[in-house]
Amino acid sequence: MAQHAAQAEGLCLRYPDPLGPHAQVTHEAAVQMLLRATQLAQHTPFTWSYIDKPTEGQLFLIFQMPQLPFPVDGLAYQDREQRYNIPIAGGRELEVFEVKFGFIPGVDTTAFRARRRFRLAKGGHPQLVLIHYSRGQATPIIPSLNQPVRNYPLRPVNEPSVYVMGEKQGQKVFPGPSGSGPGRLSEAGARTSAEGMGMGYGMPGMNVPGNPQALLAHQNSNMDALEKRSLRDRSASMGSRQPAGRADDDDSADESESISTRTLALARYRRNHELMNEVFMYAAFGSKNAISPPPPYSGFKKDELEEKISKLNSEIEEMKAKAALRQHAASDAAHEIVDISMDGPSASDAIAT
């Protein structure tokens, strides 16, 4: 009951590492980060946490539960949230929600905060949401809205981390004796995570180019390094938890105790579906043995065409001959008319005399 109340107050599943400041997030950068986040979420558990009074430039990655509304973030907004979709190459579609004129009640003197959240409606995982806060146009605060949007202090969070995707979807991760469990990264790992998700875009002192092409290349290289490091951490974590002398087994007792049979079956189905999709996705379009269309002149025969040509040539010669006869006859008739007109005055003169 306490967890449901906390979720109503904005408790959500967040990517565990801080993503650092980010001056702006372009649509292309958001797509790249969401695609990378889909891979990272396969082996990184998300933690239950709040988004409260974020500063401008902050970036969050959350896994939004379908039955829950978007979590409260501690900001009050004087504008309605706008939604629009952007088609992306490759059949993907980016859905963007944007709201402006936000402020922290009792702290800000003007409403200048803006929030944009991105998710891949097509071509990605629609429950992974990227949230970015920035500075927008300022406007005076409406006094009636200058009140806290949530109750303080926030409820403490004691829930363990959860795998939201991949083979371990639904499995909980409890902290170890030292206070850190699988999926939690060191300080250096957190810095790598922030860089891998595209942090430092256009920020002074970050040594990252500000143009989009260089940014995407930088993000891709950092995300590749982050994935390799996360896989190594995951392998080390699995090796430390597995007892000596015990062979790897997908149907182990530890795994069956952590997650339900339905969740495990669903995870395996999705994994097998993805593997089969990689095999057949290129063979599903078109036919490799398609019959080439016949040439456009295949409906004609050479002998018939030559016979028609010779017939047309003879008709043309015959028409030319007829035309020449008509011209000759017309010329003779013209000469006769001229001769008659020349003899006409002499005859009339004779009659007159």
Distance, in Å, from the CA atom of 312 to the CA atom of 43, rounded to the nearest integer, reads 80
User: What's residue 74's pLDDT?
Assistant: 93
pLDDT at residue number 240: 58
| pTM value surpassing 0.95 | no
36-70: buried (b, 16+ CB within 10 Å) or exposed (e) per residue?
bbebbbbbbbbbbbbbbbbeebbbbbbbbeeeeeb
**Lowest mean pLDDT: which of 144-148, 150-154, 177-181?**
177-181
Question: Are 85 and 122 in contact, with CB atoms under 8 Å apart?
Answer: no
Q: Is the pLDDT reported for residue 132 higher than 90?
A: yes
Rounded to an integer, what distance in angstroms lies between the CA atom of residue 58 and that of residue 270? 33
How far apart are the C-alpha atoms of 169 and 143, rounded to whole Å?
A: 45
Question: Looking at per-residue confidence, does 296 or 201 come out higher?
Answer: 296
273-322: pLDDT as tens digits? 888 887 777 666 656 666 777 777 777 888 888 999 999 999 999 999 99
Question: Nearest-5° angle of CA 64, CA 44, CA 92?
Answer: 55
187 pLDDT higher than 60? no
How many angstroms separate the CA atoms of 60 and 117, rounded?
Answer: 9
More confident residue, 220 or 149: 149
Quick one: pLDDT at residue 268?
A: 87
pLDDT at site 258: 53
Cis peptide before 153, with omega less than 30 degrees from 0?
yes
The pLDDT of residue 146 is above 70: yes
pLDDT for 66 equals: 79
- The arithmetic mean of pLDDT across residues 101-113, rounded, is 94
| Closest C-alpha to 109, from 149, 136, 143 | 143
Measured at the CA of 319, the angle between CA 317 and CA 320, to 5 degrees, comes to 65
CA dihedral 6→84→78→13, nearest 10 degrees, is 20
Task: Give the residue with greater pLDDT, 310 vs 233.
Answer: 310
* Neighbour count for residue 17 (Cβ, 10 Å): 24
pLDDT tens profile 8-59: 778 899 999 888 888 889 999 999 999 999 999 998 999 999 999 999 999 9
The pLDDT value recorded for residue 192 is 45
| Overall average pLDDT of the 51-77 stretch | 91
Q: Can you give the pLDDT at residue 337?
A: 74
Share of residues in the chain with pLDDT > 90 (%): 40
pLDDT at 228: 66
pLDDT at 244 over 50: no
